[in-house]
Amino acid sequence: MKCIQLVNENPVILASRNDYYWVSFVFSKLFALKDKILSLNVGLKSVPKTILGIDISSSAIKLIEMESNHGGYKVVSYGVSPLPPGAVIDREIIDIEATAKVLKIVYQDSNASSLKAAVAVSGSSVISNFIDVPRALSEKQLEARVELEAGAIIPFNLDEVNLDFAVVGQNPLSKDELRVQVVACQRDYVDQRKEVIKLAGLQPVVVDVESFAFARAYKELIKTDAAESRQHDNTNSRSMGYDPEEVVAVIDIGASVFTFVVISQAMVVYSLEQPFGGKQLTEDIQRRYNLSWAEAGKAKRKGGLDSDYVETMLGPFKGLLIQHIKRSIQVFYSSTEIKKIDRLMLSGGVSKVVGLPDEISKAVDIPAEIVDLLKNITLSSQVSRSRLLSDTPAMMLAFGLALSKGHKW
């Protein structure tokens, strides 16, 4: 059984993405890699047909199940259900049982068929770093090399992390060397997610990193105009749904987390998370108009607040959001060689604020649009297009996770 793949893809924390086997990648120490893999092997004998992408976010649980369909994808089931306030705070699952209960309901209501689940970790619980190694190393030698260097490049106690690595390309300064991405996640965070999945009666088979899942959803599901014209001009180009020459920033603005992921040449080259989101505005509305949490959330989405709401509350909120975006772009430019982001793709519930893409685009002078994840995929008859369409900007992570099955970068 092949445990570590030398393929050009991003690492997954729990499971490697082998086309024929799904192998658990949970291990406590790198030097115990082989034994741990064998002892914790998820042990699936065949490729699961579909995998549930499950986003355990701060405000809700979101589930997507997709199957391959004539070279594309078909959504076979989906579900969203709000979490009780305080069940998940800043990506930490505070109430595991309450979270699992909601997941169980989402799963049952969605009529999903698979039991296999992919979830994600992110933020300060995840550290990723790169090492360059001689191209000629065998798999075993590469494992040994990562084992040697992990302590120096991962600022966590290796006894307390789950760790994975993958070759992601070549060292730009030396064609004789490969660039290897090493990713570590604090084990508590991985275990919380696995426990929720298991309590809900499902099987955790992949624990991915959020930024990788966003990038995967972008790459697999979004066909940009630039990609179409490039493919048209170049008949030898690989058939792909996106343009690898474009530098794209996916900006997800959720209830409490602002995520900024830059993708270039099919790789996540930068990612940043900040504690900012729509919850702030909901809380302000609640205080100002003396409304319950649910009433404030509904008023924000459906309107009906005083006429000065837009000027006194929504306007300043959008101003803050634009500041976050500007600062993220500046920090990105100052920390990499890349000097131009070509396109901003907005996701997350907050991206639905009317007129937001245009305002952002004007403020930063980069074209901005809301992700259209359904543009190139079909839906099974049990999935309502209009309902899913209204939820999709907030489902990008779940889509990316649902695509983690055997995905090759």
Ligand X SMILES: Nc1ncnc2c1ncn2[C@@H]1O[C@H](COP(=O)(O)OP(=O)(O)OP(=O)(O)O)[C@@H](O)[C@H]1O
Q: Which residues are near Mg ion by CB under 5 A?
A: 57, 254
Q: Tell me if 301 contacts ligand X by CB under 6 A.
A: yes
Identity at 110, one-letter amino acid code: S
The residue nearest Mg ion at its CB is 254
Q: Considering beta carbons, is residue 4 or 262 the nearer one to Mg ion? A: 262
Q: Tell me if 179 contacts ligand X by CB under 6 A.
A: no
Strand 161-170 relative to strand 177-186, pairing:
antiparallel
Q: Tell me if 257 contacts ligand X by CB under 6 A.
A: yes
DSSP 44-110: -SS--S--EEEEE-SSEEEEEEEEEETTEEEEEEEEEEEPPTTSEETTEES-HHHHHHHHHHHHHHH
d(CA 246, CA 263): 8
Q: Tell me if 349 contacts ligand X by CB under 6 A.
A: yes
Q: Tell me if 123 contacts ligand X by CB under 6 A.
A: no
Q: Considering beta carbons, is residue 25 or 79 the nearer one to ligand X? A: 79
Q: Considering beta carbons, is residue 254 or 400 the nearer one to Mg ion? A: 254
Q: Tell me if 394 contacts ligand X by CB under 6 A.
A: yes
d(CA 135, CA 138): 9
Nearest-approach distance from CB 301 to ligand X, in angstroms: 4
Nearest-approach distance from CB 287 to ligand X, in angstroms: 15
CB burial readout 349-360, b (16+ within 10 A) else e: bbbbbeebbebb
Residue window 31-70: x/- pattern of binding to ligand X, with contact defined by CB under 6 A: --------------------------xxxx----------
Give which of ligand X, Mg ion, none residue 24 binds (C-beta under 5 to 8 Å, depending on kind): none
In which element (H, E) is residue 318 found? helix 315-335
d(CA 362, CA 33): 50
Q: Considering beta carbons, is residue 147 or 295 the nearer one to ligand X? A: 295
CB 345 within 8 A of CB 248: yes
Give which of ligand X, Mg ion, none residue 217 binds (C-beta under 5 to 8 Å, depending on kind): none
Q: Tell me if 348 contacts ligand X by CB under 6 A.
A: yes
Nearest-approach distance from CB 243 to ligand X, in angstroms: 26
Q: Considering beta carbons, is residue 90 or 139 the nearer one to Mg ion? A: 90
From candidates 255, 321, 341, 398, binder to ligand X by CB under 6 A: 255
Stretch that binds ligand X, among 97-105, 125-133, 161-169, 293-301 (CB under 6 A): 293-301
DSSP 181-250: EEEEEEHHHHHHHHHHHHHTT-EEEEEEEHHHHHHHHHHHH---HHHHHHHHH-TTS---SS-TTS-EEE
Q: Considering beta carbons, is residue 16 or 186 the nearer one to ligand X? A: 186
φ/ψ region of 52 (left if φ > 0, alpha if ψ in -120 to 50, else beta) reads beta
Place of tokens 């530098």: 247
Nearest-approach distance from CB 54 to Mg ion, in angstroms: 12
Q: Considering beta carbons, is residue 22 or 79 the nearer one to Mg ion? A: 79
Q: How far is CA 365 from the centre of its chain?
A: 26
Stretch that binds ligand X, among 64-72, 126-134, 345-353, 364-372 (CB under 6 A): 345-353
Q: Tell me if 251 contacts ligand X by CB under 6 A.
A: no
Side-chain half-sphere CA neighbours of 300 within 13 A: 27
Q: Considering beta carbons, is residue 143 or 210 the nearer one to Mg ion? A: 210
Q: Tell me if 24 contacts ligand X by CB under 6 A.
A: no
Please give the structure tokens belonging to residue 23.
């192998």
Q: Tell me if 288 contacts ligand X by CB under 6 A.
A: no
Q: How far is CA 228 from the centre of its chain?
A: 25
Burial class (CB in 10 A: 0-12, 13-18, 19+), 173: exposed
Enumerate binding residues for ligand X (CB under 6 A): 57-60, 254-257, 277-279, 282, 297, 300-301, 348-350, 352-353, 394
